[in-house]
Amino acid sequence: MFILDAEDLQRLTGTTQPTRQCKRLKVMGVPHRVRLDGHPIVTSDAVNEYTGVSSREKPDTFKINMAAISHAKKSA
């Protein structure tokens, strides 16, 4: 997870003005916080959640079916 920089926020919201960025993030439903200077703070996880991409998805796991292998050896 990392915090988006000014360029990323501009690309995401379409504006460079912090007040407008915050409004657009709210309308888009992207979770964010606002710094004391008015600039939004957005994490990459928040953007991934908004776009439907999860950085915490578990990779596919497979389990070897030893019983099937054992049965196949006996049949051969």
Contacts for 45 with CB less than 8 Å, ≥ 6 apart: 1, 55, 56
pTM of the model: 0.66
> For the chain, what percent of residues have pLDDT higher than 70?
82
Helices (H), the chain: 6-13, 18-28, 44-51, 66-75
* pLDDT bracket for residue 41 (50, 70, 90): very high
Q: What is the mean pLDDT of residues 6-12?
A: 94
CB-based burial label for 25 (10 Å; 0-12, 13-18, 19+): buried
